[in-house]
Amino acid sequence: MTDQKVIPLRGSRAPVADVGPALKRARPRSKPKPKRESWTAEKKRTFLTTLAATCNVSAAVRSISMSESAVYALRQRSPEFRAEWQAALREGYAKLEMAMLERAIHGTQKPVFHLGKEIGQVTEYPDRIALTLLTAHREAVTGETGGRMTPTDPEEVRRRILDKLDEMNARLTRKDDGEGQ
């Protein structure tokens, strides 16, 4: 018999012959790294549809079983996907706005309780939401921004700034004139 050392296998009581230093150096191959998360047309469509429905990137990512970093990386490198992402968010926010507008117009039914028993319902109207939506719709319909400037035409922005400065200067002049008398 050769002078091989016998070592038991892990978890086993049966002895195994020592196979020598050459095989000890050989390490088991590690699992291959998973391939980069791949995008398919179906995954993009599902992501964008879910994003439009929820306005929630995390929920849209979960719907396609990919990582958020993969989604943001694609948005970074693909102008087309970035534009589709923005379109999906615009659609989602439009749906959300319509739902909030519906609630502001028609209210929501809330139960009324007395002594632990439901005795009726009352319709609640969320005034704060209604005012916010009215402001947004006024801007969309009339083009008024409620004092906020939308920098589209540089000359228009410049004119508005100068008008605002003139208005402020006139107020200060009136205040100074009142104090001097």
- Which amino acid belongs to residue 29? R
pLDDT at 63: 95
The values of phi and psi at residue 45, to 5°, are -60, -45
**Closest by alpha carbon to 169, among 180, 158, 161?**
161
| Residue-level pLDDT, tens digit, the chain, 181 residues | 556 665 555 655 555 555 555 555 555 566 555 455 688 999 999 999 999 998 899 999 999 999 999 999 999 999 999 999 999 988 988 888 888 878 878 888 999 999 999 999 998 877 777 777 777 766 665 655 555 555 567 778 778 888 888 888 888 887 777 654 4
Rounded to the nearest angstrom, the gap between the alpha carbon of residue 147 and the centroid of all alpha carbons in its chain is 28
Non-local (6+) Cβ contacts of 112 within 8 A are 118, 119, 120, 121, 122
Please give the Cα distance from 159 to 59 (Å, whole number).
44
**Rg of the Cα atoms in the chain:** 34
